[in-house]
Amino acid sequence: MNIVVINGTPRKYGRTRIAAKHVAEKLDAKLVDLSTLELPLFNGEKEQKDHAEVQLLEKTADEADAFVWLSPEYHSGMSGALKNCLDFLGGDHFRHKPTLLFSVAGGGKGGINSLNQMRTIGRGLYANVIPNQLVLDPYCFIREEDKLADEASEQVDFVLSEFKWYLDRYTK
């Protein structure tokens, strides 16, 4: 089973990156890290197909059986970095593939907007976006250690166990 986790923060020190690494480790998945992968800004020109990072992204998505998308909540929406990444891909990369969503927010009830936007985009890409999802607020992280706090880790485990239910049924 080939699971691909996409870290949607463009910030190398972003909390979303910490969560993405955690999830990738738990699932033994491949990490596409948008804080280090230097994708150009999608412009639809053919030359972008020759870009090494674009080719790597397409190959990784082609080979995936399932995805986890993690986005920070930025200005009441998902990150531009994740949207830009998805614009390089299409329905053939996602059709029928179980996809799990996480949002990492600044607290104060943020997070649901990026989840809803990702869910809409997942539909547009024919992904099998599962109903379970999770928002992680700053208190979910132990910043000095760049890791998730125990309670948040348990919440992540629960969502991942639900994700596995779908993986068992909808992947080969």
Ligand X SMILES: Cc1cc2nc3c(=O)[nH]c(=O)nc-3n(C[C@H](O)[C@H](O)[C@H](O)COP(=O)(O)O)c2cc1C
Q: Which is nearer to ligand X, 79 or 128 (CB)?
A: 79
Site for ligand X contains 105 (CB under 6 A): yes
Site for ligand X contains 75 (CB under 6 A): yes
DSSP codes joined into one string, 115-150: HHHHHHHHHHTT-EEEEEEEEE-GGGEEGGGTEE-H
Among 73, 86, 98, 118, the residue binding ligand X under the rule CB under 6 A is 73
65 secondary structure, DSSP code: S
| Rounded distance between C-alpha atoms, residue 71 and residue 10, angstroms | 10
Given the rule CB under 6 A, which of 50-58, 69-77, 145-153, 156-164 is the region that contacts ligand X?
A: 69-77
> What single-letter amino acid sits at 113?
N
Please state the closest distance from residue 21 (CB atom) to ligand X, in A: 12
Residue 96's SS3 state is: coil
**Which value, to the nearest 10 degrees, does the dihedral of the CA atoms of residues 65, 156, 14, 103 take?**
80
Given the rule CB under 6 A, which of 51-59, 72-80, 86-94, 116-124 is the region that contacts ligand X?
A: 72-80
Q: What are the phi and psi torsion angles at 30 (to 5°)?
A: -80, 140
| Rounded distance between C-alpha atoms, residue 100 and residue 133, angstroms | 7
Please state the closest distance from residue 28 (CB atom) to ligand X, in A: 23
Per-residue binder mask for ligand X (CB under 6 A), 112-151, x = binder: ----------------------------------------
| Rounded distance between C-alpha atoms, residue 121 and residue 127, angstroms | 9
Given the rule CB under 6 A, which of 12-20, 23-31, 37-45, 58-66 is the region that contacts ligand X?
A: 12-20
Among 5, 9, 125, 127, the residue binding ligand X under the rule CB under 6 A is 9
Interface residues toward ligand X, by CB under 6 A: 9, 11, 14-16, 72-76, 104-106, 108, 110
